[in-house]
Every structure is written in structure tokens, then in C-alpha cells.
Amino acid sequence: MPQDSRKQQGDTTRDTLIKTATRVFAELGYHGASTRAIAKAADVNQALIGYHFGGKEDLYQAVFVAIAEALEQRMTTRLEQLKVLLAEPDPAPEECLVALETFCGGLVELMLQPETEYWSQLILREQQHPGPAFDVLYERFMGRVLGITTRLVGHLRPDLQSDEVKTLVITVLGQILVWRFARTGIQRHMGWSSPDIEAIKHRVFTNIRLLLTKEPLE
Amino acid sequence: MPQDSRKQQGDTTRDTLIKTATRVFAELGYHGASTRAIAKAADVNQALIGYHFGGKEDLYQAVFVAIAEALEQRMTTRLEQLKVLLAEPDPAPEECLVALETFCGGLVELMLQPETEYWSQLILREQQHPGPAFDVLYERFMGRVLGITTRLVGHLRPDLQSDEVKTLVITVLGQILVWRFARTGIQRHMGWSSPDIEAIKHRVFTNIRLLLTKEPLE
DNA sequence: CTCGTTTATTTAATCGATTGATTAACTATG
DNA sequence: CATAGTTAATCAATCGATTAAATAAACGAG
């Protein structure tokens, strides 16, 4: 690793602090994670949090901006693909279905990646008490995912009203998100050490087709 | 309100502390909720937490025992109904479906009740870092719900293997649970002040029938 | 019924430890 | 020497826990 020049050293410290703080905040909670614990875990002097970010609260904000950027980066390609499809005059239903499957498959993988565990913990916490950190997350990630999938499902199910489409979208996404949010309980129930991604994907794909291709029962 | 006798006063203090602590722990997190803040919110002397429970950690445990008991009480009737149905030699599929719908309908109502908000926040937190508090919750509530629904779905879908049934159950429950643990994001997306319970129920019922009555696609 | 005693509960005050923040001195790069 | 970054030390505030004193209901003896 090349030795940082003095000016680059500051950026390195910032990055290290954000990365470490993501983990410590997720593990101990905002109040439980002391600036000293974060600094020690990052192998950095405690006063540097104040120097680089201003204070603990500002570091917390910086963590969420970083999470939103990372999520944005991972999903932006897939979201663009859906946008392109929806830009067509009248996309074929089967094409929409495959695109939605691909998108949801990526979401399943994202939910099951170990590295997203800290993110989900922080997002869950923040969602319970929405502050400025949640606004960043919603605008840069959640809102975009919800928006594009709603448009896609709306095209697949023209028989449904606007609110009905939204409700359906939530349930479709819910069966994916649950694998992250209820992970501990699920593991205890299924007796898995690590979840079988392909099996989950297969189930989600099947469900999507059942929920979006079948005509309403009555 | 009748004046408490001296002996009853202790129990009253205990109950008040648990009820208040449920809210404060949920709002501020374990570390964020100081014993002084809890005591002040409960209008009780701070030292009484130590006197009645031993310490902060013990009060936290007591909160989860109370939550588990409340959840148990609310669901035990519905769970018994399912057990009775499953005890029959060969329950009719339609009967199983209706029973599952009824059960899931109750679950939807539970998820949307304002009073369960504190519970869900605490459960989510505890699930991320499972401790003894989570054990109580799983054994008395989650495990029983998962177990009984899995048996029911297994009977409805004899074409699926054991793990496939469990996976299907998780997705079915996930589309219900999501209304609670993604509540803030959902509200922002749907622009609701308060969710339309009947619409959600209708969607969940429709989904259940689509997912559990249709034969596998291939 | 009344008094003194026991018991459970409550209270204010205080303990050492830890918190986030800040300071001034220090280091190294340009 | 100027600047950006780092460091150890210290600040008042707050933390959970504990203490001894205060309060009042419960109880047995007379």
C-alpha cells in the first residue's frame, strides 16, 4: 500500500471512520456506539471524529450518505434497464415479467449478502424514527425502487387501480425484504447456517408469476 | 381509582415501569434510554428500577417477557383453531385456506395496530442481535406461528418438499410483516396517513389463494 | 381499639465511570 | 515557515448503581 501523503491521509481517515462507524453503529446502536469505541475500532484518535465530521451526529449522517451511495451504485444499472423497458411504447408482458424477475433476483441477492447486514440494521433503526438520514435513503434508493416497480406492475396488471397496484407491489417486495429483516427468526425456523439463495430466488420468481400473470379470481 | 394498599403499590410501580419502559426503549434504543428518562416518564423514582427489577438490563428483559405474553395472548386463540383443524384426519383444502386466511387476517390487523408499534421496534432490534430476550419471543410466539402455518401450508401443497414449504411460508408471512417493518417507507410511497386495512387484507387473501391453490407452473 | 414494631416501598443524595466535545501542543508535508 | 492532520489531556454532563433515611401500610400484643 503506497504511503499516503499528508493531504491524502485525511481522506483515508475519513473513509476508515465511515466504514468502521457503519459496523459499530449497526452493532451497538447510535447511543451505544461511543465515539471512543468507534475511534478505537478504526485505530484512529478520538478527536479526529470532531475534526473531520464535526461531531458524532455528523459522522452518523455521513454513514447514511455512504450507504445510500452504495445502494444507489448497486441498483442503478438494474433500475436503468427497467426504465429503458418502460420507455418503449408497449412492452410485451412476458418481457416485463422477465425484467421484474431479474430485478427482484438482484434484490434477493442484495438482501442475502453479508455485507448488507449492517446497512439493513441501520436502515431499520432509522425507519422507525425517520430523520434526515432516512430522507437521504428514501430519495436515493427506496423511492426509486418503489416507483419503478410500481410502474412495471401497473403495466402488467392494468385491471388494478393505482392504490391496488401499490399495495400489490408492497406485498411482492415484502416477500423479498423479509429474508433480511426477519433473518434471525428465519434461520432458527429453517435450521440453516446460510440461506439457499437459489431456492429463495426460485420461490420468489414463481410467486411473481403467480401474482402478476394470473387474472384476478373474481 | 381506588387507592393502592401499600403492598399493591409495588405491583403498580412494576407494571407502570414495564409499560413506560416499552415505549422509551423503543423510541430511544437500549443505550439511549437512560434509567432516569424511563423513571421520569413513568413518574417514578429512578432507584425503583434497581429495587424492583435489579437493574436496567433486567427491566429490558421484563419488557420482552411482557411483549411475548401479550402476543401469546392475542394469537393463542387463533393458533388453537388451526391446531384443531390440523388434528382432523384429512381437512378439506378449502377449509384450510379459509383458516389460513382468517389467521393471516388477524396477523395483518396485529401488524397495523398502533399499539404494536413499540413491540415491533423492539423485536426488530433484538432480532438483529439475538440475546435471551429474543429466545423468549421466538419460543413463545414466532416459532409457534411459523410451525403451525408451515404444517397448514404443507397440507395444502403436498407437492412441495419440506424446505420448499418453509420457504413458501416465509414469503407468505413476509408480505404481511412488511407492512409493519417497512411502515415509514410505505407511508411515504402511498401517501397514506393511515393504511387501509381492508384493502391490505383483500390483497393478502388474494395472494394466499394465488400462491397456495394454483398448482405449480411446471 | 391503640400502641409499638415489623415490613415493604419510596425517596434524595451520592458513587465512580463514561460520555461527546474541546483545547493546546505536536508532527510532517509542501 | 505555513498548512493540514494528529495527538494526549481535560472539560462538564450524564450514565447505572447504590446507599441510608423517610414513609406508610400491616400486624401482634395488651
Which residues of chain A have a CB within 8 Å of the CB of B29? 29-32, 125
Residue A45 · residue A35 · CB < 8 Å: no
Residues B31 and B67 in one domain: no
Exposure of A1 in the CB half-sphere (CA atoms within 13 A): 6
Looking at chain B, the whole-number percentage of residues with pLDDT higher than 70 is: 94
First-to-last alpha carbon distance for chain A, in angstroms, is 65
The total of structural domains in chain A comes to 2
Distances (CA, A) of A130 to A8, A90, B188: 34, 38, 11
- The grid cell for B190 is 402511498
pLDDT above 70 for B56: yes
Band of residue A217 on the pLDDT scale cut at 50, 70, 90? very low
Which single residue has its CA nearest the C1' atom of nucleotide D14?
B34
> Domain for residue B218, yes or no?
no
- A132 inside domain: yes
Residues B199, B97, single domain; the answer is: yes
Structural domain containing residue B129:
61-213
Which nucleotide's C1' atom has the smallest distance to the CA of B48?
C10
A92 exposure class (CB count in 10 Å sphere: 0-12, 13-18, 19+): exposed
Query: Domain for residue B160, yes or no?
Result: yes
- Give A173's contacts in chain B (Cβ within 8 Å): 178, 182
- In this structure, are B136 and B189 located in the same domain? yes
Handedness of CA A30, B17, B60, B170 (dihedral sign): negative
Q: Check which CATH number belongs to the domain holding B199 and give it.
A: 1.10.357.10
Boundary-marking domain end, from B54, B70, B99: B54
Same domain membership, residue A158 and residue A99: yes
In the structure grid, which three cell numbers stand for residue A27, read together? 452493532
Q: Render A89-123 in DSSP notation, one character per residue.
A: SS--HHHHHHHHHHHHHHHHHHHH-GGGHHHHHHH
Interface test with B, best of A206, A209, A215 (most B CBs within 10 A): A206
**Do B101 and B43 share a structural domain?**
no
CATH of the domain at A12: 1.10.10.60
d(CA B75, nearest CA chain A) in Å: 18
Whether residue A172 is predicted with pLDDT greater than 70 in this model: the reply is yes
Domain co-membership, B74 together with B158: yes
Mean pLDDT of the A56-61 span: 97
Residues A76, A49 within the same domain: no
What's the confidence (pLDDT) of residue B1? 33
User: Higher model confidence: residue B132 or residue B144?
Assistant: B144
Q: Is A132 on the interface with B (CB under 8 A)?
A: no
- Any chain B CB within 8 A of the CB of A216? yes
Contact A189 B209 (CB under 8 A): no
Chain B residues closer than 8 Å to A145 by CB: none
Same domain, B47 and B78: no
How far is the C-alpha of A166 from the C-alpha of B199, rounded, in Å? 11
Same domain, residue pair A50 and A65: no
Find the helix packing angle between B197-213 and A197-213, rounded to 10°.
Answer: 110
Concatenated DSSP letters of B15-60: HHHHHHHHHHHHHHHHHHS-HHHHHHHTTS-THHHHHHHSSHHHHH
Among the listed ranges A7-16, A34-43, B58-67, which one has the minimum average pLDDT value?
A7-16
In a domain? residue A218: no
Taking an 8 Å cut-off on Cβ atoms, the answer to whether B181 and A210 are in contact is: no
Q: What percent of chain B has pLDDT over 90?
A: 78
**A-B C-beta contacts closer than 8 Å:** 164
Model confidence band, residue A131 (pLDDT cutoffs 50, 70, 90): confident
**Does one domain contain both B2 and B103?**
no
Rounded average pLDDT over B143-161: 94
Q: What is the pLDDT of residues A100-122, one digit of tens each?
A: 999 999 999 999 998 898 999 89
Clarify whether residues A25 and A92 are in a common domain.
no
Which among A113, A111, A142, A144 has a CA at the least distance from the CA of A126? A142
Q: Is B127 on the interface with A (CB under 8 A)?
A: yes
Q: Whole-prediction pTM value?
A: 0.88
Residue B70 within any structural domain of the chain = yes
Q: Do residues B197 and B147 both lie within one domain?
A: yes
Does the beta-carbon distance from B203 to A130 stay under 8 Å? no
How high is the mean pLDDT of chain B? Answer: 91
Give the closest residue to A168 by CA, choosing from B49, B132, B203.
Answer: B203
Mean pLDDT for chain A overall: 91
Measure the CA–CA gap between A41 and A59, rounded to whole angstroms.
15
B101 touches chain A (CB under 8 A): no
